[in-house]
Amino acid sequence: MVRIENGRLQEHPIIDFERKKEVTIYFNGKPIKAFEGETVAAALYAAGVRVFSRSFRWHRPRGFFCAIGKCSACMMEVDGVPNVRTCKVYVRDGMQIRTQSGFPSAEKDAFSILDDVIDLVFPHGSHYKKFTSTKAVRNFMLKRMRKFTGFGNPPKVVYGGNAEYERIDTDVLVIGGGPGGMSAAINAGKYGAKVLLVDENPFLGGQLVKQTHRFFGSAKHRAGTRGIKIAKILEDELSKLENVDVRKETRVFGIYNGEAGAVQGGEKLLRIKAKKIVVATGAYERTLIFENNDLPGVYGAGGVQTLMNVYGIKPGDMGLIVGSGNVGLILTYQLMQAGVNVAAIVEAMPRIGGYFVHAAKVRRLGVPIYVRHTILKAIGKNSVEAAIIAQLDDKWQPIPGTEKKVDCDFICVAVGLSPTHELLYQAGCQMKFVPELGGMVPLRTKYNETTVSGLYVAGDVAGIEEATAAIMEGRIAGIHAAVMLGYGGDEAKEELDEAVKDLEEFRAGPFGEKIICGLEKCVLESEVTI
Amino acid sequence: MKYLERGYLEKDELPPFPSRERLMKKSVAYIECPQPIPCSPCYESCPADAVKMENINDPPEVDYEKCTGCMKCIRVCPGLAIFMLRIREDGKGEVTLQYEFLPWLKKGDRVKLLNRKGEEIGEGVVNWVLPPERNDNTSLVRVEVDENLIFDVRAIRPVGDINEG
Ligand SMILES: Cc1cc2nc3c(=O)[nH]c(=O)nc-3n(C[C@H](O)[C@H](O)[C@H](O)COP(=O)(O)OP(=O)(O)OC[C@H]3O[C@@H](n4cnc5c(N)ncnc54)[C@H](O)[C@@H]3O)c2cc1C
Ligand code: SF4
Ligand code: SF4
Ligand code: FES
C-alpha cells in the first residue's frame, strides 16, 4: 500500500516527489493547501474538487480532461483574469481562484436543471433573435447571458506588468522541448549551429516527464532507461552546448516567413528570426464518443499520468481503462504502482493493441482485459460512479444482453493521439490526412523537411509514434538543418545517412509496418540532395 | 497470436522448457516475450551469448546450455518478461522475478503466488532480493515455491496486501 496524505502520494516505488513550499490558495473563497510547483488544477484535484466548470448551454458538470492545456475543460478565473486554463498555471500563495460558470458555484449549480429543460425555454439560436428590441436591453441581456454561459467576466484588474519586446536572430529555432525537439536542438547544436529551443512548459521533456517505465529499443537508444531519466539525460546534453539557448515558459503562436512570434513568461513578446525552424510540438489526446463522456472522472490517459506521475496526486480508487494500446497498458501498471486499483481494460479491437509484454504484466496482477468490448456509458451525477461496458459483434455493434456494470470512480480514455499541427497549417505546410499517423500530418522529405522550405518536423507532430522514434527524427531534422546551413562538413553528412538508416531499421518490425505504410502516403518522392 | 486476445500465454504458447537436469544445475533465464517488438536489452546485456536475436524486432530465444544464470538480462528487461528458474537439490523450486511495488519485499516475507492470469496458486517465501536502489528501482525477488509451480508462478503479492484485485 502506498501512503496518501491530502490526496497526495507520500511514497512511490519509482518516483521521488520533492514537494516545495506549502502555500494557501483560495477556491471560491475557501482556503486550500497546495505546494509550489503544482498547477492550480492539480492542487484543486488533490483537495477533492472534481467539477471545474459547467458547459455553456446545458450547465453540465465538467472536470479536467487533458491536464496539459489542450482541452479547455478546466477554465476558471484566476486573480481576476477570466478563462485561465488552470492545468497550465502554477499556484502562488494567496491566489484567488473562482469557477466562472454555475450559480452559486460550478459544483453546486442551481442552473444544472437546464440540462433537462433548456431546449424548451431557450431553443438553439434564440440569443440571436430574442432581447434585441433596443440597445439597452441587448447590452443588459448580453451581460446576463455571458455570466450564465460561463464565458467569464471581463477582467476586473488592469494588467500591471511590464510588457517587454525582444528580437532574436538564430540559425535554428526548435519549437517544443519534448524528446523530438531536444534531440533536434542537440544535433543541430553539436555541429555548431546557433540554436534556440523554446517550450511552453516550465520544464523540458514533453510527454517523457510522466513515463516512469523503462523504455524499449536497443541500448544505443537508451532502452532499459526510464522515460523520466531520458528527459534528464537529453537536458544535460543540451546544457553542455553553449550555442544552444533554451527558453522555457515560451509559447510560439505563429510562424511568418521564417520568423516566429512567441510569448515568454506571459509578459515578453519575442520576434525570432530563424534560418531553419523545427516544429516538434507533440500531440494531444483523442476522446471517444459514449454517453456521459463529459462527466468529471472521464479523463485522458495522459491527463491521469500527469496528475499522478508529475504531481503525485492520486486520481481515484478504482479506474477503468478504455483502450489497450501501450499508453493504456502502461498507465494501468503505473496506477497499480501508485496503489490505485484497475477494474478492467476494454478494447474494441479483437486483440490487444500494445505490446504483449505490457499486457502480460498487468494481466498477471489480475486486471481483466476485455477485447471486442467497448464502453457504452458513464454513470454518475457530478462525477463518475460506474460505467457500462458491452461486447461488440463483427460489425462493431454492442451485443444486447452483454452489458456489464463496472464500479469505478474514474475512466481513462486511452484511444490514441492526434498531432498538434496548428502551427504547420498556419505556416502554410501542405497537410494530408493519414490515419496510420494519427490524423493530419505534413508532407515531408525523408529528412523531415516540409513543403515550406527550411521548416522541419520531428516527433509526434509528424505522425504519432513514440519517444525513441521522436528522438531519431529530431536527430535527422537537426543534422539536416545544420548541414544545409554549412555546418559539420562530411562528418555531419555521414551521420545524417546513418541516422536515416537507424530509423529505417527501427521501423522494420511489425509495429513499424503501420508507420511505414502511413509514411508512404506523405513522404515526398523528390530525392533531396545534400 | 491468440495470446494477444488474452494478455497471457497458454501452455502451448510457452517457449520450450529447460530440462530438469539443466534446472538442477543452476538457475536459468526463461523468457516469455513471443511478439516481435523493437527491443533488445536482453540480447545486448548477455555476456554468454545465450540470447539469440538476429534483428532488433526478433523475439529472443535462450540457449539454456549457454546461459550461466548471471541475471544480467533480468535486471534490464523493460517488459518484465524474464524469469530466472531453478530446482534445488532438496527438490524445492525457485523463481526470480522483477518487482516494482511498495512495500518493497525482504528476505523472509511470505507472498501469495499468482499465475499468468492473476489467479492465486499458493504461497511462497522470499529467500533473496536485489534491493531496488541497486537496480534503478526495479527490485529482483526470488521466491521459494513447489517444484511443479516454477512454470506457473509469474507474479507475487505480499500476504495481507489490501490492494488485492
Ligand atoms: C500518455 C502517453 C504515454 C506514452 N508512453 C510512451 C512510452 O511508454 N514509450 C514511448 O516510447 N513513448 C510513449 N509515449 C509517446 C512519447 O511520449 C511521445 O511519442 C513523445 O514524447 C513525442 O515526443 P515529441 O517531442 O514529439 O512531443 P512531446 O513529448 O509531446 O513534446 C512536445 C512539446 O512541445 C511543447 N509545445 C507544444 N506546442 C508548443 C508551442 N506552440 N510553443 C512552445 N512549445 C510548444 C509542449 O509543451 C511539449 O513539451 C507516450 C505518449 C503519451 C501521450
Ligand atoms: S542469465 Fe545471463 S547468461 Fe543467462 S541469458 Fe541472461 S544474461 Fe545471458
Ligand atoms: S529485453 Fe525483455 S522485453 Fe525486450 S526483447 Fe528482451 S525479453 Fe523482450
Ligand atoms: S486544458 Fe486544462 S484540463 Fe485540458
- What's the mean pLDDT in A87-112? 84
Asked if A145 and A29 sit in the same domain, the reply is: yes
- Asked if A276 and A327 sit in the same domain, the reply is no
pLDDT surpasses 90 at A9: yes
Reference B142, options B124, B164, B160; nearest CA is: B124
A38: β partners: none
A27-58 pLDDT tens trace: 999 999 999 999 999 999 999 999 998 887 77
Q: Distance between terminal CA atoms of chain B?
A: 27
CB contact under 8 A, B34 and A363: no
Q: Is the pLDDT of residue A527 over 90?
A: no
B108 compared with A82, residue with greater pLDDT: B108
Query: Does the distance separating the beta carbons of B161 and A1 come in below 8 Å?
Result: yes
CA distances from A519 to A222, A463, A477 (A): 25, 9, 16
A216 and A112 in one domain?
A: no
Residue B97 neighbours by CB distance under 10 Å: 19
> Residue A3 falls within a domain, yes or no?
no
Pick the residue from chain B with its C-alpha nearest to A326: B79
CA A84/CA A44 separation, integer angstroms: 14
Tell me, yes or no, whether A292 lies in a domain: no
In sequence order, which residues have a C-beta less than 8 Å from that of residue A17 and are 6 or more positions away?
Answer: A8, A9, A311, A312
For chain A, give the percent of residues with pLDDT over 70: 93
Residues A311-316 have a mean pLDDT of 96
Q: Coil, helix or strand for A480?
A: helix
Note whether residue A57 is domain-resident: yes
Residue A411 sits in which domain range?
298-415
A226 touches chain B (CB under 8 A): yes
Where chain B has pLDDT below 50, the residues are 163-165
Give me the pLDDT at residue A1, please. Answer: 75
Which value, to the nearest 10 degrees, does the dihedral of the CA atoms of residues A36, A37, A40, A43 take? Answer: -70
- Looking at the partner chain, which of A224, A337, A339 has a beta carbon nearest the beta carbon of B100? A337
Cα(B154) to ligand 1 centroid in Å equals 33
Ligand nearest to the CA of B47: 2
pTM of this prediction?
Answer: 0.92
Q: How many CB atoms lie within 10 A of CB A529?
A: 4
What distance in Å separates the CA atoms of residue B109 and residue B103, rounded to the nearest whole number? 11
The CATH number assigned to the domain holding A259 equals 3.50.50.60
Q: Which atom of ligand 1 is nearest to the CA of A460?
A: 26
Position A526 scores a pLDDT of: 63
**CA-to-CA separations, A132 to A56, A119, A123, in angstroms, rounded:** 21, 20, 16
Cell 509578459 sits at which residue? A267
Nearest neighbour of A14 by CB, restricted to B7, B56, B137: B137
Q: B38 vs A14: CB contact, 8 Å cut-off?
A: no
Does residue A14 lie within any of the structural domains?
A: no
Cell of residue A215, nine digits: 523504455
- Window A:194-223, CB contacts with B under 8 Å: 213-219, 223
The verdict on A252 and A306 lying in the same domain is no
- A529 domain-assigned: no
- Whether A154 is in a domain gets the answer no
pLDDT single digits (tens) A329-373:
999 999 999 999 999 999 999 999 999 999 999 999 999 999 999
Chain A hits for B40, Cβ within 8 Å: 217-219, 223
Is the CB of residue A506 below 6 angstroms from any atom belonging to ligand 4? no
Do A349 and A435 lie in one domain? The reply is no
The residue written with cell numbers 511590464 in the block is A162
What are B32's three cell numbers? 516469455
> Which of A321, A356, A506, A507 is the mutation pick for testing B, counting most B CBs within 10 A?
A356
CA of A67 to the centre of ligand 4 (A): 5
- A383, A400, A415 — which closes off a domain? A415
Atom of ligand 4 nearest to the CA of A69: 1
Q: What's the rounded mean pLDDT across residues A264-284?
A: 95
Q: Does A1 touch chain B (CB under 8 A)?
A: yes
What's the structural domain count of chain A? 3
A12 at B interface, C-beta within 8 A? yes
Give the span between the Cα atoms of B114 and A246, in whole angstroms. Answer: 49
| Portion 466-525 of A in contact with B at CB < 8 A | 468, 505-512
CA distance A494 to A508: 21
Identify whether A429 is part of a domain.
yes
pLDDT tens profile A197-241: 999 999 999 999 999 999 888 877 788 899 999 999 999 999 999
Residue A442 burial (CB count, 10 A) = 27
| Residue from A173, A308, A466 whose mutation best tests the ligand 1 pocket (most atoms within 8 A of CB) | A466
A411 and A443 fall within a common domain: no
As a whole number of angstroms, the distance between CA A271 and CA B50 comes to: 57
Give nearest CA residue, ligand 1 atom 30. Answer: A282
Instruction: Kindly state whether residues A330 and A278 are assigned to the same domain.
Output: no
* A15 falls within a domain: no
Q: How far apart are the first and last CA of chain A?
A: 57
Same domain for A106 and A118?
yes
| Residue that terminates a domain, selected from A387, A415, A443 | A415
Whole-number Å distance, alpha carbon B140 to ligand 4 midpoint, is: 39
Place of cell 530465444: B61
pLDDT tens-place string over residues A123-170: 777 667 777 788 888 888 777 776 666 666 677 667 777 789 999 999
Chain B residues within 8 A of A314 when measuring between CB atoms: none
Beta bridge partners of A440: A433
Contact of A370 with chain B, judged by CB distance below 8 Å, is answered with no
B162, closest residue in chain A (CA to CA): A1
A291 or A157, greater pLDDT: A291
Q: What is the DSSP string of B43-82?
A: HHH-TTS-EE-SSTTSPPEE-TTT-----HHHHH-TT--E
A339 lies in the same domain as A256:
no
The reply to whether A45 and A145 lie within a common domain is: yes
The one-letter amino acid at A362: V
Using one digit for the tens of pLDDT, what is the confidence trace for A392-437? 999 999 999 999 999 999 999 999 999 999 999 999 999 999 999 9
Looking at residue A528, its pLDDT comes to 53
The pLDDT, as a whole number, for residue B164 is 46
Q: What is the pLDDT of residue A152?
A: 67
Distance CA A104, CA A110 (A): 7
B39·A13 Cβ contact <8 A: no
Q: Tell me: pLDDT of A8 over 80.
A: yes
Residues A30 and A144 in one domain: yes
Q: Does A309 score more than 90 pLDDT?
A: yes
CB-based burial label for A377 (10 Å; 0-12, 13-18, 19+): middle
Closest CA in chain B for residue A345: B7
- Residue ending a domain, among A149, A176, A207, is A149
CA separation for the pair A109, A103 (Å, rounded): 5
Q: Residue holding cell 437546464?
A: A114
Same domain, residue pair A68 and A121: yes
For an interface test with A, give the residue of B10, B73, B80 to mutate (most A CBs within 10 A).
B80
What φ, ψ does residue A63 adopt, rounded to 5°? -110, -170
Q: What is the pLDDT of residue A461?
A: 98
Q: Which of chain A's residues have a Cβ under 8 Å away from the Cβ of B46?
A: none
d(CA A74, CA A88): 9
- Chain-chain contact of A366 with B154 (C-beta, under 8 angstroms): no
